[in-house]
Amino acid sequence: MKKYFIAETEEEVQFGDTIQVDLTKKTKKGVHKVEGEIRFTPDSLPLFLELGIIEEKEVEDEEMLDFQDSPCEALDDIWESIDAIEDRLVTLEKGLSARVDKLTEQLTTLLEVLKPEPKKKK
């Protein structure tokens, strides 16, 4: 894969970036300077390469990130923590549900005991 860098700074640039260009040329009539900004596009690439402003480098695939693998160990730890929290929530939910069922049963029994007797007709 090809990547592009500013020649003097080794800063990576991508298509769509704007690059500050300062050109100086000595002629018989003196030194001439041109300053400006040029958008880095596939069309402007040949000009940048010819002027030596941009360097093109071939980057090996092994240098690129593989997003199928976790980018860092800390992220793996976070995912493990999330899984553990989810497991704990399921356990707590089951326990809470069982307690609510038991309390409902106890309240029903208590209400039956405390239920007033119907009055007898005389």
The pLDDT tens digits for 20-65 are 888 888 889 899 888 888 899 999 899 889 888 899 988 776 555 5
Q: Is residue 101 part of a domain?
A: yes
pLDDT of residue 64: 53
Q: Is residue 120 part of a domain?
A: no
Lookup: tokens for 28: 């018989």
For residues 91-115, give the mean pLDDT.
Answer: 89
For residues 86-97, give the mean pLDDT.
Answer: 92
3-state SS assignment for residue 121: coil
The answer to whether residues 13 and 40 touch, using CB atoms and an 8 Å cutoff, is: yes
Give dist(CA 64, CA 61) in Å, integer: 5
What's the number of domains the chain is made of?
2
pLDDT of residue 16: 92
Q: Which domain holds residue 83?
A: 70-115
pLDDT of residue 65: 55
Give dist(CA 72, CA 62) in Å, integer: 16
Q: What angle do CA 48, 22, 10 make, to 5 degrees?
A: 55
Residue 67 pLDDT exceeds 60: no
Q: Do 6 and 56 share a domain, yes or no?
A: yes
Give dist(CA 44, CA 55) in Å, integer: 13
For residues 108-113, give the mean pLDDT.
Answer: 86
Q: What residue spans of 1-122 are helical by DSSP H?
A: 45-51, 73-114
Q: Is residue 122 part of a domain?
A: no
